[in-house]
Amino acid sequence: MIFLFDCVRDGESFIALNEKNEEVGYLLFQKNFSSIGIVNSVTFYQGSVNLGFLLTTIFNLYGPIVYNTYNVSEKGNSLLVKMLKSFGFQDLYTEEGIKLEQVFMKKQL
């Protein structure tokens, strides 16, 4: 698993620990602020294990604001995508009905 923490400006993470104080899960996210400094949305990037607890913790911390994801493909993050959908997150589509997905492009010189 590649962690994007260093790539997310002002990114934060919640780390779940078991009773032995061992790491058993994480959720990488970024808070977005309004012009007056109030959290108005949260963007989720990566996560694993105990996601329901971690997501519920964030929802309880910030309340009824916009929650979204960025660069979370089902292929590499199926557990996170499944959990987000169980919390009511929905896929987005273009006006033409094409599902929006992460795009990777490369040019060989």
Question: Model confidence over 67-76: pLDDT tens digits?
Answer: 988 777 777 7
**Beta-carbon contacts of residue 80 (< 8 Å; ≥ 6 apart):** 44, 46, 47, 48, 51, 72
Predicted confidence band at 2 (pLDDT cuts at 50, 70, 90)? very low
> pTM to 2 decimals?
0.65
pLDDT at 12: 85
Question: Model confidence over 3-39: pLDDT tens digits?
Answer: 455 567 788 888 888 788 888 788 888 999 999 999 9
Specify whether the CB–CB gap between 32 and 39 falls below 8 A. Answer: yes
